[in-house]
Structure 1
Amino acid sequence: MYATTSFVAAVLAAVANGHMLMNTPQPYSSPALVNGPLNADGSNFPCQLTAGASLVAGSASNTFPLGSSQPLKFTGQAVHGGGSCQISLTYDTHPSASSTWKVIRSIEGGCPAQGQTGNMGDDAAAADPFTYNFTVPSNIPTGQVTLAWTWYNKIGNREIYMNCAPVTLTGTSGDKANFDSLPDMFVANIGNGCGTVDSTDLLFPNPGNDVVSMNGATSAFSTPTGTGCQAPGASPPPAAAGTGSGSGSGSGSGSGAGSGAGSSPSAAAAQSGGDPTSPATVPGGVFITANPSQGAPATTAPPAADPPSTTTAAEAPAAAPTTSATAAAAAAGPPAPAPSPAGSSSSSSSTTSNASGSSGEPAGSPCSPEGTWNCLGSSYQQCASGVWSVVQELAAGTSCSGGQGASINIAAANGKTKRVAVRFRA
């Protein structure tokens, strides 16, 4: 009996120490942070708070100037294949279940680790070699806030992890309306009628303007399920005329349109490099931006007053020439159409002609369910805001499989899985 009891205790101890903790920003001192998920019934949401408990900063101190870039670091090795994370803020210093949390950063896939098929080990005290960052909005009010890191693991039980930290925002105070316009924090897996899909990286319904897509060991993404899930964000208005010099001639070769890629915020971000860092032996993901025509909305991201403040490119140094080539392809991005002097767009003809012999579903035609991918071999499109997007080319040397479905799998021509995540953005 003693041996059995000891064995059970050892197993429980291993489980209790088998998850991840945020160590930067520095979390609240009390209640003592645990590295497990929130309770399945949501009874300790938010911030692992139980009935009657309050957050105490203690020795924790985090001061962030508005507009600054801040690191995000973790402790532990039980990364459960990675997953998707968000960084959110509330001006409630004693948050409750009714507090308003607003997202300032979404990481879809590859968080808190990239390229993992399961866990990295069982050392709960080990430093996570993958580090990330986020940018504090420059136009929100200063003052005391509570920061939350939420994580939806890719592999294992359907859970949500949440660690919180006290933060002082400094600088020239902005308008509260700017904070209110940010998307709400996504919440699932706590008995609220919303869940996530096992073995896939979560695509947030409303990730906000500051979103980066990375990868795990597979490029499998999916939207949440259930009637209690957050509604997708509204489609942004067509992009304003940029400074690029693309002629938009629609020659069908793919080389005649969008030579002014510098006018695209997402393309420019891809060229500037990614912010999360990781060991050089583990390659990061590549984010391929898609540029739908003005006539066919193809995004669920909300409009934002300012351009993205962070990058959406390769998230780690390349480990092999093939990965470097992929990163270079992502930096170049698909052709970014530039409006003609008259203000009209002529990019759809050149985009459609790049569909490798398949036109897919007509752009702008009705579709459901929301978020469905349509793989066309070397190109793809997605159902967004109830209509099909224009067909977009994949990176050179890659192809997809699976036809229409909730996720898209992308592989290199040599059959090896490409660490590529595709997400439509403004």
Structure 2
Amino acid sequence: MLFKTTLSLLALATAALGHMQISYPCPRYSPHCATRPTLPPGESIDYNLSSPIGSNGTILAPICHHNTPWPQVNEVWTAGQSLTVKFYPSGTTHSGGHCEFSISYDGGNTFVVLNQQLKYCFFDGPPSQGGTDSVRSYTFNLPANLPGTDHAVFAFTWVNAVGNREFYNQCADVAIKGSAGSYTGKKVTIANYGPGYPVIPEFLGNYNTGLEYYTSNTTSVTVTGPGYSG
């Protein structure tokens, strides 16, 4: 029993010292959330959610780390509300990079972007100009015309500025209160994730590196929801 307990503590410590992981909303199979739904049958807690899902052109894990969603959503949001996404305070930020927050209405096949934090994600300004590694939450408004649904997939994605060319991603299962309808926006950027995806090189101090995949060389997508009143 002592041996198993020690292994569990080591796993938690490793996760805390890894890369960046959202703490709110609770990502799929997280060991850290204050409250979380019951795990799907046959699944287990994932102590490596902060690890990349892609690295140097190799796919290491599926989008969201896990294909099977929580059986129940962990958060219910309302279209138009202010949302604060939170991260655990410890973790390696690789000198920033490009981050996006997006949502899917078809089980994680199509994600439309809700918010971007480009160049200096996790920093309060350019590192070369004294920006500090101190940002651990982002607040933005959900679109007022975001359609309602009883189960959507919310995603955090990140391409790091420094280090191996990696792609980070975690997902949470949420409901959106709102009317039936559709929403059109930018398709989420996926890079450094194997064949068929763009490779964004190490920034080497140039924070415009790969920016075109987020601002100009992009695709629009439309998501639809049946409506949900809670």
Do Structure 1 and Structure 2 share a fold, with TM-score over 0.5? yes
User: Who is 1:135 aligned against?
Assistant: 141
- Structure 2 counterpart SS, 1:105: strand
User: Who is 1:232 aligned against?
Assistant: 217
> Greater share of strand residues, 1 or 2?
2
The alpha-carbon deviation at position 114 of structure 1 amounts to: 3.2
1:84 partnered with 2:98: yes
CA distance in 1: counterparts of 2:136 and 2:75, whole angstroms: 21
Question: Max radius of gyration: which structure?
Answer: 1
The alpha-carbon deviation at position 18 of structure 1 amounts to: 2.3
- Structure 1 counterpart SS, 2:120: coil
Q: 2:63 is matched by which residue type in structure 1?
A: P
CA distance in 2: counterparts of 1:160 and 1:108, whole angstroms: 14
User: Who is 2:74 aligned against?
Assistant: 61
CA-to-aligned-CA distance 1:136-172 (integer Å, 9 cap, x gap)? 111132012000000111111111100101111013x
Instruction: Kindly indicate whether the alpha-carbon contact (under 8 Å) linking 1:197 and 1:224 is maintained by their aligned counterparts in 2.
Output: no
Which of 168, 184, 206 is 2:175 aligned to?
168
User: Who is 1:411 aligned against?
Assistant: none
Instruction: Give the 3 Å change call, closer, same or farther, for CA 168–224 of structure 1 in structure 2.
Output: same
Aligned residues: 184
Scaled by the length of structure 1, the TM-score of the pair is: 0.39
- Give the superposed CA RMSD: 3.1
CA-to-aligned-CA distance 1:372-400 (integer Å, 9 cap, x gap)? xxxxxxxxxxxxxxxxxxxxxxxxxxxxx
CA distance in 2: counterparts of 1:145 and 1:175, whole angstroms: 14
Instruction: Kindly indicate whether the alpha-carbon contact (under 8 Å) linking 1:194 and 1:224 is maintained by their aligned counterparts in 2.
Output: no
Instruction: Give the 3 Å change call, closer, same or farther, for CA 220–66 of structure 1 in structure 2.
Output: same
Instruction: Kindly indicate whether the alpha-carbon contact (under 8 Å) linking 2:100 and 2:156 is maintained by their aligned counterparts in 1.
Output: yes
Instruction: Give the 3 Å change call, closer, same or farther, for CA 84–62 of structure 1 in structure 2.
Output: same
The alpha-carbon deviation at position 85 of structure 1 amounts to: 0.5
Instruction: Kindly indicate whether the alpha-carbon contact (under 8 Å) linking 2:52 and 2:60 is maintained by their aligned counterparts in 1.
Output: no
CA-to-aligned-CA distance 1:30-53 (integer Å, 9 cap, x gap)? 55252111133335221012xxx5
Q: 2:54 is matched by which residue type in structure 1?
A: N
User: Who is 2:200 aligned against?
Assistant: 196
User: Who is 2:209 aligned against?
Assistant: 222
The alpha-carbon deviation at position 189 of structure 1 amounts to: 0.3
Instruction: Kindly indicate whether the alpha-carbon contact (under 8 Å) linking 2:97 and 2:207 is maintained by their aligned counterparts in 1.
Output: no
CA-to-aligned-CA distance 1:256-311 (integer Å, 9 cap, x gap)? xxxxxxxxxxxxxxxxxxxxxxxxxxxxxxxxxxxxxxxxxxxxxx8xxxxxxxxx
- Greater relative contact order structure (CA < 8 Å, 6+ sep): 2
Scaled by the length of structure 2, the TM-score of the pair is: 0.68
User: Who is 1:146 aligned against?
Assistant: 153
Q: For residues 99-118 of structure 1, what are the structure 2 equivalents within 5 Å?
A: 99-115=109-125, 116=127
Q: For residues 179-190 of structure 1, what are the structure 2 equivalents within 5 Å?
A: 179=183, 181-190=184-193
User: Who is 2:26 aligned against?
Assistant: 26
- Structure 1 counterpart SS, 2:110: coil
- Structure 2 counterpart SS, 1:56: coil
- Structure 1 counterpart SS, 2:54: coil
Instruction: Kindly indicate whether the alpha-carbon contact (under 8 Å) linking 1:89 and 1:103 is maintained by their aligned counterparts in 2.
Output: yes
The alpha-carbon deviation at position 21 of structure 1 amounts to: 0.6
Instruction: Kindly indicate whether the alpha-carbon contact (under 8 Å) linking 2:99 and 2:116 is maintained by their aligned counterparts in 1.
Output: yes
Instruction: Give the 3 Å change call, closer, same or farther, for CA 43–69 of structure 1 in structure 2.
Output: same
CA-to-aligned-CA distance 1:295-333 (integer Å, 9 cap, x gap)? xxxxxxx8xxxxxxxxxxxxxxxxxxxxxxxxxxxxxxx
Identical-pair percentage: 25
CA distance in 1: counterparts of 2:173 and 2:91, whole angstroms: 25
Instruction: Kindly indicate whether the alpha-carbon contact (under 8 Å) linking 1:139 and 1:174 is maintained by their aligned counterparts in 2.
Output: no
Instruction: Give the 3 Å change call, closer, same or farther, for CA 15–149 of structure 1 in structure 2.
Output: closer
Instruction: Give the 3 Å change call, closer, same or farther, for CA 182–129 of structure 1 in structure 2.
Output: closer
1:159 partnered with 2:166: yes
Gaps of 5+ in 1: 1-9, 122-127, 201-217, 235-301, 303-426
The alpha-carbon deviation at position 89 of structure 1 amounts to: 0.6
